[in-house]
């Protein structure tokens, strides 16, 4: 039997700022495990990581995902030391597809249902604000779905490194 080597890391980081809905974070754990991206959660969380809904949505992927919980955004920046941080907001003018993603990029998403607050959008670490297009009159996408859309575009641009 051939041994399959561990795939290269995607080297992208997903950051959820104060997520509120357990199944969305569970789904993000699954997305991170399936792509090799890191998932960073900024407290306070609207649930505990042992919450049944988080566990159920993440299925058996929790052990395969690289997930870190930070007490605040400053602690996350200190660990990540990001060069580029893209904040996703429905109020941006630049589409997420207009960026040439690079290894180490941070994809920053806000809590449901409010999105990122102004103090986070104006954080000096944020190098760009991006939007995912939607039809007029719609407020936002589901957090886990928005993460998938953005992360898979970044991974596609990198040639789906490590994918089978």
Give the CATH number for residue 61.
3.40.1280.10
* Number of domains the chain is built from: 1
Q: Determine, yes or no, domain membership for 145.
A: yes
Confidence (pLDDT) at 8:
53
- Which residue segment(s) compose the domain that 74 sits in? 13-157
Q: Determine, yes or no, domain membership for 140.
A: yes
From edge to edge, which strands make up the β-sheet containing 66-70? 66-70, 38-42, 13-17, 106-109, 85-88, 128-131, 94-95
Ligand-binding annotation for 110, yes or no, is: yes
Ranked by mean pLDDT, which of 40-49, 134-143, 145-154 comes out on top? 145-154
Ligand-binding annotation for 137, yes or no, is: no
Q: Determine, yes or no, domain membership for 2.
A: no
How far, in Å, CA of 127 to CA of 48, rounded?
30
Q: Determine, yes or no, domain membership for 103.
A: yes
Binned at pLDDT 50, 70 and 90, residue 15 comes out as very high
Binned at pLDDT 50, 70 and 90, residue 23 comes out as confident
Q: Determine, yes or no, domain membership for 163.
A: no
Q: Determine, yes or no, domain membership for 3.
A: no
**Mean pLDDT, the chain, whole residue set:** 89
Q: Determine, yes or no, domain membership for 162.
A: no
Q: Determine, yes or no, domain membership for 97.
A: yes
Could you identify the residue written with the tokens 């960026």? 99
Q: pTM score, two decimals?
A: 0.90
> Which DSSP string do the residues of 89-110 spell out, in sequence order?
-TT-SEEGGGS---TT-EEEE-
Ligand-binding annotation for 132, yes or no, is: yes
């Amino acid at each position: 039997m051939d041994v399959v080597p561990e795939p290269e890391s995607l080297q992208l980081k997903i950051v959820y700022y104060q997520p509120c809905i357990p199944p969305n974070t569970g789904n993000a754990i699954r997305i991170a495990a399936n792509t090799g991206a890191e998932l960073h959660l900024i407290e306070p969380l609207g649930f505990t990581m042992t919450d049944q809904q988080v566990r159920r949505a993440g299925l058996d992927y929790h052990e395969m995902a690289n997930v870190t919980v930070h007490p605040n955004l400053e602690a996350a920046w200190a660990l990540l030391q990001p060069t580029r941080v893209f904040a996703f907001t429905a109020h941006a003018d630049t589409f997420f597809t207009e960026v040439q993603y690079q290894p180490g990029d941070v994809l920053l998403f806000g809590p449901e249902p409010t999105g990122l607050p102004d103090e986070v959008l104006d954080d000096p670490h944020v190098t760009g604000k991006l939007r995912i297009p939607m039809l007029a009159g719609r407020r936002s996408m589901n957090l886990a779905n928005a993460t998938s859309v953005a992360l898979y575009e970044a991974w596609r641009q990198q040639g789906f490194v490590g994918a089978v």
